[in-house]
């Protein structure tokens, strides 16, 4: 598992309340969302990373979900082409921010669409989900450029989940957290699995950041599984993020 030195986060704007959602969990409470976002940043700092903190952009309601705008490796950055029209302009700020860290860039171009939330890296292997936001052309573009750079890439059409990383996370040490359609998926056969039950599915979207696994609060069974596997955990209340289909991985770019 590579060690993360940097993360990029972005404060949600008031317009977040009008952002995209498929959930029926109700309207987010903005003040509570800001508190949760601040706790998220504090947790990342505890993990020993340098945080680049971007200000809110009212014109982009979903732009706090910075993960969707780029796919990052140690050597290069891929600027995505988000699948929701209202989100496409988010890539401009993310690209200019990443220019402070990367010299080498690739781009997903139309008609290909790609959200970073559909991309999972496990060492030298990438998994690319085809979803409502990432189409086959976008997935193939990413696969081709990753393979050119010496990585493996497997395309996985999604059946249930909104994004690939809604239901899966890589913790390092050949260990994969899996839920729902990924529990018995042949692509993940070779990993040691931590299986998340149906009622705890939301907690499959967790992130390993250096010495810690950060997971959503309120999932005791998941936390126990992580602790038993030898991981230190940090729990964060994610209620207002979850209302807009968001999870822990969506809120940062980690590299």
Q: Which residue has the tokens 């790609």?
A: 114
Q: Which long-range contacts (CB under 8 A, 24 or more apart) does 108-111 make?
A: 108/78, 108/79, 108/80, 108/81, 108/138, 108/141, 108/142, 109/81, 109/141, 110/81, 111/135, 111/137
Q: Dihedrals φ, ψ of 180, to 5°? A: 50, -125
CB count in 10 Å sphere of residue 136: 14
8 Å CB contact between 103 and 47: no
Query: Of 63, 67, 29, which is closest to residue 247 (Cα–Cα)?
Result: 67
Enumerate the β-bridge partners of residue 216.
236
The yes-or-no answer on residue 53 being catalytic is no
Catalytic residue chosen out of the listed positions 47, 206, 244, 250: 250
Angle ∠(47,49,50) on CA atoms, nearest 5: 145
CA distance 142 to 133: 14
The yes-or-no answer on residue 163 being catalytic is yes
Burial tier of 116 (Cβ tally within 10 Å: 0-12, 13-18, 19+): buried
Catalytic residue chosen out of the listed positions 37, 163, 206, 244: 163
For residue 194, give the 3-state DSSP assignment: strand
Active site residue ranges: 163, 250
């Amino acid at each position: 598992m590579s060690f993360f030195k940097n993360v990029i986060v972005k404060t949600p704007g008031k317009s977040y309340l009008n952002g995209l959602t498929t959930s029926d969990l109700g309207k987010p409470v903005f003040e509570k969302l800001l508190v949760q976002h601040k706790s998220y940043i504090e947790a990342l700092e505890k993990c020993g990373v340098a945080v680049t903190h971007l200000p809110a952009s009212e014109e982009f309601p979903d732009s706090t979900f910075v993960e969707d705008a780029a796919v990052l490796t140690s050597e290069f950055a891929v600027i995505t082409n988000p699948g929701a029209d209202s989100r496409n302009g988010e890539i401009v700020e993310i690209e200019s921010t990443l220019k402070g860290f990367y010299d080498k860039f690739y781009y997903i171009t139309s008609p290909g669409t790609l959200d970073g939330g559909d991309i999972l890296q496990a060492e030298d292997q990438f998994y690319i989900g085809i979803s409502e936001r990432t189409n086959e052309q976008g997935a193939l573009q990413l696969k081709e450029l990753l393979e050119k750079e010496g990585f493996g890439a497997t395309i996985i059409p999604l059946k249930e989940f909104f994004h690939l990383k809604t239901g899966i996370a890589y913790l390092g040490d050949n260990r994969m957290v899996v839920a729902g359609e990924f529990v018995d998926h042949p692509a993940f056969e070779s990993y040691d699995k931590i299986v998340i039950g149906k009622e705890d599915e939301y907690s499959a979207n967790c992130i390993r950041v250096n010495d810690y696994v950060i997971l959503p609060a309120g999932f005791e069974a998941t936390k126990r599984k992580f602790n038993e596997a030898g991981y230190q955990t940090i729990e964060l209340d994610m209620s207002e993020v979850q209302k807009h289909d968001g999870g822990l991985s969506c809120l940062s770019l980690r590299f």
